[in-house]
Structures are given as structure tokens and as C-alpha cells.
Amino acid sequence: MVICGGLKIKNYLGRCLRYLASIAVAAALLAGLSGCAQETEDVGNPRKVKIGVTLYDQYDTFLTLLMDCLHREVEDNVELVIYNASQSQQTQNSQVKKMIEDGCDVICVNLVDRTDPTAVIDAARKADVPIIFFNRELVEGDISRWNKLFYVGADAAESGIMQGEMAAVTCLTDKSIDKNGDGAIQYVVLEGEAGHQDAIVRTEYCVETLMKKGVAVDKLGNSIANWNRAQAQTKVAQMIDSGSDAIELILANNDDMALGAIDAYEAYEIKKSDWPAIFGIDGTEVGLEAVRDDKMVGTVYNDKEGQAHAIYRLSMALAGGGSIEDVEDEFTVTDGKYIRLHYDKITAANINKYLGN
């Protein structure tokens, strides 16, 4: 007990000192890093904190919404610069170098290739600029390569479990889902990009949860549609063409692909009562509307507001010379590196809480 108390006080004092240090550094930044503010020309125009961001693909629906949330966080004394890597790791590496040259105080990286962060890490380390990776998680061996590397995202397993639980409730309570009455649910998984942690983990956990909850399942196929609505529509249309009208359940790794499946059924003018039960993940605006309109049975909320807030607060702490411990009052920090926001289940029952968010 005493030791715990002592540790707590030590932690508290440590936090205070770090807090004071970060205020001092922030003050130095605001004073243009040139000594006494009164002596500079920039008195009324202090240097802004500069946050650089690079996205794997700016046209990704979830990331667009996440960036909208990040923009809303930005205060007057902060400049936010966002680059699109257009799915090229090489382009992203050059963007990171450019942001370092441009004097970014912290760089937020949505990796194109989550297994290839070496050039980004090396450049940042050389220039001593902290990096916050987000949404596309690098492997543990890479994040431990330097003490100024962090990750903000969510726990992919949690989203897979929630999707599986919602689907299980539907399959166990609504007997009309088992259209051919064979006692098993014929299902298809629409998967995100190969190698993305959310695609791998969501796929595994949603099906495992469904089975654990006692739903007899029969896999008709897994199809990669790269998080993309049009690709998902094409894949599902092919399944319908090839006579897979027996699909009773579609578990999509994200809302865009669930919407692509809906597009396919609508394009074939298949009547709603013959559709499979369709589930997504993200809770995007269009995804929520599909739940409201009873086209998607449920989705899982990917907390974009929480992730944007964590990225921003951590950026500000790091830019001011502080550390991830400075945001522990608001976020759960794991291993001194990770902040993961929680997901939430959304069905027709609680959709109103999310619509208009």
C-alpha cells in the first residue's frame, strides 16, 4: 500500500514536472524559439504548432470522416497539413521527409504498407520528430524501435466480436434468416485489404463469435473487396450470378463493403425479404442511414471522434516536448505506446443516438 502510494506520488510529481516542461517548451515554440518574445518581431504572431498528416488514401470513406473530426479539433495556434499518399509507400516516405523539412513538430502517419515503416521511422528518428501512427497498425517490433513512436486506433478484435454477437442475436431470434430451413446459416465474409489488421482480426473474430454463440454456420466464401463499395458490389453481383442466392448472412469488414452488397441486391431488384442479413462496421453516415432504412441489420461504431481527439491531444503533448503520459487523464495508454478507443454496437434499437453525430 505504502509503496503504491509512494509510486502514485512519484508518478504525480513526474507528471507535474513533465507538464511544466511541456508548458515551457510550448511557450518557447510560441515565442518563435528565439528567446524573449518581446524582443522578436513576431510578438503578435507567434509560431504555430505544426502537425503533419499523411493518409494511405484520402478517398477512403472512414479516413475522410476521421480527418473531418481532426479538423474540428484544431485550435487557432495550430497548423494542420494533410497529405494523400495515394496508396504508395514511396510517396508517403517522401511526404514524411518533406514534413520534417517544413518543420512539423509531430507527424501522424496512416501507413500505406503497415509492414514497411522503416523509412518513415528512420527519417523521423534522425530529425527527432515524434510519430503517431494511426488506423493502420505497425507490428510491435517496429513500434519499439524508438521511444517517440506511438499508435492511435481501436481494438480490431472488439469490433469482430461485436459484429458476431449482433449477427448471432439476429440468427437465433429471427428464424426467417435461415431461408432454406436447413438449420445452418450460409454466410459470406466481405474482407478489407489483405494484410490489414482490421481485416484479418475482424474476419476471424466475427465468425468465431457467431459459432461460440451457438449458430450453426456454413461458409459460402470469403471475398476480398479492399474496403471498397464498388468492389464489394461487383463481388456480390458475381455471387448472385453464380447462383449463390442461398446467401443468408453477409458479414462485411466495413460499412462501405456492406453498402456495396446492398447495391448489388438493389441492382438485381431482388425483393428485400429475399436479401441476406447484412452487417457492417464503422457507423459511417451512409452506413447509419442503411441501418435506419432497415437495409443493414447492424453496424459497429468505429469511434472517429475519439480517435481524432486522441491524435490531436497526443500531438499537442508531443509537440510541446511532453509524452504520452500527459494524456493518460483522458485515454487508456497501453505499454506506453498505444491508445485504443472502444467500439459500440449499433442496430435499429439505438440508431438515433448516432444519427446526426
300/316 with CB nearer ligand BGC: 300
CB of 293 to ligand BGC, least distance (A): 20
CB of 174 to ligand BGC, least distance (A): 26
60/326 with CB nearer ligand BGC: 60
137/165 with CB nearer ligand BGC: 137
85/121 with CB nearer ligand BGC: 85
Extract the C-alpha cell encoding 188.
459470406
CB of 12 to ligand BGC, least distance (A): 35
150/227 with CB nearer ligand BGC: 227
Handedness of CA 140, 64, 344, 330 (dihedral sign): positive
How many Å separate Cα 219 from the centre of its chain? 27
Question: By the 8 A CB rule, do 304 and 255 touch?
Answer: no
Q: Are strands 277-279 and 249-252 parallel, antiparallel or unpaired?
A: parallel
Q: What is the largest CA-CA distance in the chain?
A: 82
22/299 with CB nearer ligand BGC: 299
Number of C-alpha atoms within 13 angstroms, CB side, residue 236? Answer: 35
209/302 with CB nearer ligand BGC: 302
For residue 298, give every residue at least 6 positions away whose Cβ sits within 8 Å of its Cβ, in sequence order, or none: 163, 166, 167, 170, 279, 280, 291, 345, 346, 347
Residue 23 CA to residue 201 CA, distance in Å, equals 40
Extract the C-alpha cell encoding 5.
502510494
Extract the C-alpha cell encoding 72.
474540428
CB of 280 to ligand BGC, least distance (A): 9
CB of 62 to ligand BGC, least distance (A): 4
Q: Single out the residue of 152, 151, 48 nearest to residue 103, CA to CA.
A: 48
Q: Are strands 131-134 and 149-154 parallel, antiparallel or unpaired?
A: parallel
CB of 357 to ligand BGC, least distance (A): 16
**Residue numbers at the binding site for ligand BGC (CB under 6 A):** 60, 62, 135-136, 196, 198, 227, 254, 281-282, 302
CB of 50 to ligand BGC, least distance (A): 24
58/234 with CB nearer ligand BGC: 58
Extract the C-alpha cell encoding 87.
496508396
For residue 277, give every residue at least 6 positions away whose Cβ sits within 8 Å of its Cβ, in sequence order, or none: 167, 170, 171, 174, 177, 248, 249, 250, 297
Residue 56 CA to residue 51 CA, distance in Å, equals 17
CB of 299 to ligand BGC, least distance (A): 10
Starting at the earlier edge strand, list the strands of the sheet with 338-341.
Answer: 78-84, 49-55, 106-109, 131-134, 149-154, 338-341, 333-334
CB of 305 to ligand BGC, least distance (A): 14
99/281 with CB nearer ligand BGC: 281
